[in-house]
Each structure stands twice: as structure tokens, then as C-alpha cells.
Chains A and B, each alone.
Chain A
């Protein structure tokens, strides 16, 4: 690959998705884009990059999607979901008791495992949520990955990473080699194609936002910008989930860590959620 091509593509990725691709990650271009080149009947990476440089919009989009698609597991890391079940949700049920509705956003949801995990948790709560209107929105910039999310069909490998077997037998059906999520869970999630770098306000206001393992791919100014946009679509007492290796400290004034709850952040503009943590 010509150094010039690398610079061009990394600039495109930064502009469109915020992804920062440094030279030491150049191999990623090869491994992610070769399948794409082949699919389009091209000889190799150089031919594909030539199309990108001709500003072929369709190819540009596919390149950005291929480079930004990341792995996703059901109940990734367990702990955040335990926290959601035992702390965030009960708190929400109290705080929204009069309205009986709340909205959850899974940002950069990839193939849908995170919003579906949340949907299963809510479903398991059963009667407690009778009469509540709950919306789960999953967004990603890749239309292709969202199609997979909507289909709700996962390989045996995918359903084994993190999914308890009790939930697997309850909410999935085996269809040939795949496991397909039950319509009762699928219908709880709405998927939308959305770029985190754009204006988020049309998504409406959320009470819980999951944006885990997304910021790690951005540079500092982009992190700040995205956190600012996210804060604009959060209720005053809403909470934000970040990934284990991510923080708001030194990046954004719009959020503060919730004491005692690793990975959860509250908006500084609001009073913050009580979450049963010390309120000093």
C-alpha cells in the first residue's frame, strides 16, 4: 500500500467515523478491506483504494463500515448488566413511577447483542414492568451490521460468549446452524442508522445510555465532542455507561463518575441518579 493511500483512507475514516487509524494499525486495512475488495471483484487493496480516491460514495461507505465494525457479545463483561439489573433499573422504576416510561440507547450497537441483552433483562423482570412503556434504541453507522442486528440470527459461537444457557433456551430458536432471537425480544428494540459524530438530538431524550468500547477508537477532541452530543440527549438524572477502559475524566465536563459504580457516569447538569450510592 502506498503511504499516500494510507493517509487518504485514515483521513476519510477520521472524518466519517471518528476512528483514529495509526500507521502501526495499517495491517487492519489489509485484513478488513481485502474481503471487501474480493466481494467487488477487485484484484486487491490498491484497486479498492483507487475507487475510494475517486470518491465513489458507495465504496467509501463500505470501507468505513468494514473498518469500524467490531465484535460484540451478549452480556459483554457481565458486570455492567448486573449493575443495570440490580441498581439502575430499580432506581429508574422509582424515578419514572409517575410517567411509567423510559428510554434506553445502545450507541454503536453493532450486531445488536447489547440492546438485546438489555431487552432480555427487562423481559425477565416480567410483572414488575407491566403497564410500562419502554423503548430500547440501538444505533450504528453501518447499515450492513444493523441488518444483521434486525435479523437477530447468531452463530453458535456468538450465542455462547456471555449468554447464560437459561436465556438461550428461553429466548432463542435454533434455525439450521443459527440461533434466532424470539420476536418478543426483537420487537423491544428499534434499530436506527446513525453516526455518533452527527447531531444526535433527533434521537430524542434517553434515561440510560450505553456507549461502551466506542470512545477508545477516537482521539481526544472527538471523544469530547461525542460526549457533549450524548449529554444533550440525556435526561438530567440519566446515566451513561462507558467501557472498562474508558473514562470522562479530563475529557468532558458534562459527566461525572457515579461513586461506587464503576463504568457508570451521571450528567453534571442534573442532580444525578441516587443509585443507592453515597450522595456526598
Chain B
């Protein structure tokens, strides 16, 4: 089963994402900041990561750079999901190795479209 790690400091967002992802047949795990996510990834790499940008302790972009430096860390498909919606942030995300980018607010349709674009789900 495909797994997706949901990283967001908002419990509500994690719940919404979890519901959508479970409908798409993903096994989900959650972390409320980059550090928590990194600890989980060191233990076991997920198929995908849905990643917020601004979080306490460790931000999404810092997490992504750390993740990509882990052994096998280039494998997980990372989709940002953040309120940051300017070109500069998207560019920075691409350079750090993000696979896709969702600008909040998002809904199930956007998440599905993005996940299918990066090949995580079939059309």
C-alpha cells in the first residue's frame, strides 16, 4: 500500500488531508513539524509527503533539504501544500527537490489532480 506522510502544524489541515488521502487508498502518517517528519523518515521512507512550509521547530523547506540528503531520500514524492503562493517560493521548492506544489486553500480535486500529475495515482 502506498503511504503518505502529512506534515502540517494545523491539526485541522492534517485531518482534511488524511480523509482525502485515505479515500485515495493511501496509508497515512502525520507529523506536526519538519523535525517530527524527519524522525519518521529516518525510520521508514514514505511513498509521498504532503508538506506545509511554515511550521515551528523545522520548516517544510528545511525538512525537504534534509530528506533529500538521507540515503534513499530522493525516492519519496514530495508535494508542498502551503499558503505561500508566489513564484519565488515555488522556485525555491523546485530547487530543493519538490515534485509538485499546492497553494492553499486546496480541495480534494486539486490534491487528486496534483497526485495524478506526479504519478502517485492513476487518472
- A residues lining the B interface (CB < 8 Å): 73, 77-79, 156-157, 160-162, 164-166, 168-169, 173-174
B114 touches A173 (CB 8 A): no
Cα distance, A157 to B113, chains bound together (Å): 12
Cα distance, A162 to B12, chains bound together (Å): 25
Q: Which residues of A contact B117 (CB under 8 A)?
A: 78, 162, 164
Q: Which residues of B contact A169 (CB under 8 A)?
A: 87, 90-91, 94
Cα distance, A211 to B85, chains bound together (Å): 33
Least CB distance, B86 to chain A, in whole angstroms: 6
Cα distance, A169 to B87, chains bound together (Å): 6
B109 touches A161 (CB 8 A): yes
Q: Which residues of A contact B85 (CB under 8 A)?
A: 156, 174
Contacts A79-B123, A169-B91, A169-B94; A160 near B86 (Cβ below 8 A): no
B100 touches A164 (CB 8 A): yes
Number of A-B contacts (CB under 8 A): 39
Q: Please name the residue on chain A nearest to B111 by beta carbon.
A: A160
A78 touches B110 (CB 8 A): no
Taking a contact as CB atoms closer than 8 A, the residue among B93, B102, B106, B123 that contacts A78 in the complex is B123
Least CB distance, B17 to chain A, in whole angstroms: 15
> B101 at interface (Cβ–Cβ under 8 A)?
yes
> B10 at interface (Cβ–Cβ under 8 A)?
no
A168 touches B90 (CB 8 A): yes
Cα distance, A77 to B117, chains bound together (Å): 10
A166 touches B103 (CB 8 A): no
Cα distance, A159 to B40, chains bound together (Å): 32
> B22 at interface (Cβ–Cβ under 8 A)?
no
A160 touches B123 (CB 8 A): no
Cα distance, A164 to B117, chains bound together (Å): 7
Taking a contact as CB atoms closer than 8 A, the residue among B86, B90, B106, B116 that contacts A165 in the complex is B90
A162 touches B113 (CB 8 A): yes
- Seed contacts A78-B117, A156-B103, A169-B94; 10 additional CB < 8 Å A-B pairs: A77-B123, A160-B103, A161-B113, A165-B94, A168-B90, A169-B90, A173-B87, A174-B85, A174-B86, A174-B87
